Amino acid sequence: MTDKTQFMVVDEPFYQQQGNEVALYEAAYAARLPVMVKGPTGCGKSRFIEYMAWKLGRPLITVACNEDMTASDLVGRYLLEADGTRWLDGPLTTAARIGAICYLDEVVEARQDTTVVIHPLTDHRRTLPLDKKGELIRAHADFQLVISYNPGYQSLMKDLKQSTKQRFTAFDFDYPEAALETAIVVSESGIDQATAAQLISIGAAARRLKGHGLDEGISTRLLVYAATLIKGGVDARDACRMALVRPITDDRDIRDTLDHAIEATFAQAS
């Protein structure tokens, strides 16, 4: 049996509740319903799951999905060894065996045939057939499947199948309200309230440009980066340009506009 403790979240991650999502998640977990978290990049999806795992005291196994990922990468495979073959459980199988929360991050990135293997785990069966090994795993009573999904940048080609979508309960995340986001930035980076509020207003300006040349607005994560730089003694305007503007765009007009927003927001004296 795999060592459960290595997957435990030991320290409490900082998570600022936006609504009643914590209570709702607890209810979903109590019924062992599969959960999908949606929302733009860097709005706190992964942090939320980590926090919930800590709060519920469950081990958390995270898989970052990519387009080369195959079903075997999730389920497990036989390895060739000098004296024969050995079966190695994939992360999904491990989670099902030990009763962990299995978090498939950015699940649309994985090839569509891959996502199908999770189907039997997500309905009343709660089983995982291992074809190659000829084994049927019954999921541990504490096992729960969570996927994250960013509807923002998906192309026509990348979307979850209806049959997959309809197996999950879902949380729709968005960037937090200005006051809440300020509190998050303050608590994550330790800068003062006023500067944090200025950062948030720049973030809000950029988010309004979504669809006008920006695919995604400035994420809370980037705002925290900028605040961290400022805290470290970098000039506020330099920090914003470096952490907020340069990463998200190569479009000259947008860059100029956001640079101007930074100049306009931070008075010369600062």
Footprint of other proteins on this chain (CB under 8 A)? 68, 70, 72, 77-82, 201, 205-206, 208-209, 212-213, 253-254, 256-258, 260-268
Nearest-angstrom CA–CA distance, 38 and 149: 5
> Considering the complex, what minimum distance in angstroms separates the CB of residue 77 from other proteins?
6
Q: To which H or E segment does residue 38 belong?
A: strand 35-38
Residue with Cβ nearer other proteins (162 or 268): 268
> Considering the complex, what minimum distance in angstroms separates the CB of residue 27 from other proteins?
36
Nearest-angstrom CA–CA distance, 81 and 251: 52
Angle at 265 between CA 264 and CA 268, to 5 degrees: 70
Residue with Cβ nearer other proteins (165 or 260): 260
Q: From residue 173, how far is each of 47, 126, 131, 206 by CA, in Å?
A: 12, 27, 36, 18
Residue with Cβ nearer other proteins (138 or 212): 212
> Considering the complex, what minimum distance in angstroms separates the CB of residue 169 from other proteins?
32
Residue with Cβ nearer other proteins (26 or 192): 192
> Considering the complex, what minimum distance in angstroms separates the CB of residue 132 from other proteins?
10
> Considering the complex, what minimum distance in angstroms separates the CB of residue 268 from other proteins?
6
Residue with Cβ nearer other proteins (142 or 259): 259
**Burial letters 46-83, b for 16+ CB under 10 A, else e:** bbbbbbbbbbbebbbbbbebeeebebebbbbbeeeeee
